[in-house]
Amino acid sequence: MSAAEPLLRVEDLRVEFHTEDGVVHAVDGITYQVHRGRTLGIVGESGSGKTVASMTTLGLTRSQGARISGRILFEGRDLLALSEAELRAVRGNEIAMIFQDPLSSLHPLYRVGFQLIEAIDAHRQVSKAKARERAIELLGLVGIPDPARRVDDYPHEFSGGMRQRAMIAMALANEPKLLIADEPTTALDVTVQAQILDLLERLQRELDMAIVIITHDLGVVAEMADDIAVMYAGRIVETASAELLFAGPEHPYTWGLLKSIPTLTGSRDEQLVPIPGTPPSLINRPSGCHFHPRCPYAQPDHARIDPQLEPVPAEPTHHVACLLDAPTRRALWGELRAGRMPDEALAAAGLPGEAS
């Protein structure tokens, strides 16, 4: 296998759920790749399909009556084509996952050690004593003090941060090549969030694993990710390396995300601009560009034309799905970065106002 070949390559993945209310298009044709030892950040609001996409990688949406198409190539093998038993050998072994709420993600009635040993046991033929030794070692690795004693604790006896550390220890039990972290810091205190992110970065270096980090928090991806994919309504609307994306974001939705969080370097009276409206229903999605009802820069024909993910001029690794032309986007972002409000930017860029 050549070094350039990605560890994980997702191609045109679609996941639909058939419900009584209609078909939910949770993931609508997304393509991305993750290289060994690198970190991909998938960013989006709740309901943008980011969690479903990664759960599908592990086959966890199979039992929920989902209709799945596309390919998920892991080291060249299509995970979607694997049988349940073959997939089980991959889960928790080659690909591991950690979740948002570490309290509800750990079984409340079993000791932390038991749950770790179970993860080892599922994929390795080891004696009980060896597995326990390994469990203690793992707890030490993720920075739990006095692991030989804490291994016999129940999850409720751990603090929030320790629980997430325990979840990470469990995920690392079989030294996976890929770790999927679904909002790993959302349920934690801010100070603990930074510790967990540092821990993930340290472990990534030590174990040389790839990480997919799913979050709504651009701060988290700024710290962790090498590459970023921004998802909206089941699609990737912008993808680039972290440097490119933060230096010159191209999609109005990405601008919205960036302008709605405070920055340390920004001026004190910088105004935060929320993205108007709410995420669209994934059953009856807006026509044309799915973002157009919430986009301050939308033009009349954007409700008709469905934008494709295309390379940005002069940045071949930077892709965006936006119907505005590149110079207009540059001009708009220039105005926004200078602290102007969306309507001011609109006027400055010489675009007609929102069709009303």
Name which of 172 and 324 has its Cβ closer to another protein. 172
Q: Among residue numbers 65 through 124, which ones bind another protein (CB under 8 A)?
A: 84, 88-93, 96-97, 99, 101, 104-110, 118-119, 122-123
167 lies in the binding site for another protein (CB under 8 A): yes
Q: In terms of CB distance, is 60 or 244 closer to another protein?
A: 60
Residue 58 or 135 having the CB closest to another protein:
58
Residues 6+ apart with CB under 8 A from 156: 103, 108
| Number of residues near another protein (by CB under 8 A) | 29
Answer yes or no whether residue 151 interacts with another protein by CB under 8 A. no
Nearest to 147 by CA among 158, 196, 128, 97: 158
Q: Is 156 in the site for another protein (CB under 8 A)?
A: yes
Given a contact cutoff of 8 angstroms between Cβ atoms, the answer to whether 182 and 54 are in contact is: yes
Q: How far is the CB of 312 from another protein (least distance, A)?
A: 36
Q: Per rule CB under 8 A, is residue 239 in the interface with another protein? A: no
Q: How far apart are CA 342 and CA 354, in angstroms?
A: 11
Contacts to another protein from residues 5-64, by CB under 8 A: 55, 58, 60
Q: Work out how close the CB of 155 gets to another protein at its nearest, in angstroms, rounded to a whole number.
A: 9
Least separation in angstroms between residue 85's CB and another protein is 8
Question: Cα separation of 74 and 9, whole Å?
Answer: 6
In degrees and rounded to multiples of 5, residue 235 shows phi and psi of -125, 160
Residue 150 found at the interface with another protein (CB under 8 A)? no
State how far the alpha carbon of 22 is from the alpha carbons of 19, 280, 281, 285, 342, in Å: 5, 15, 11, 12, 35
Range list of β-strands (E), the chain: 8-19, 22-34, 39-43, 66-74, 77-78, 95-98, 178-182, 210-215, 227-232, 235-241, 310-312, 315-320
Q: Which residues form the interface with another protein (CB under 8 A)?
A: 55, 58, 60, 84, 88-93, 96-97, 99, 101, 104-110, 118-119, 122-123, 154, 156, 167, 170
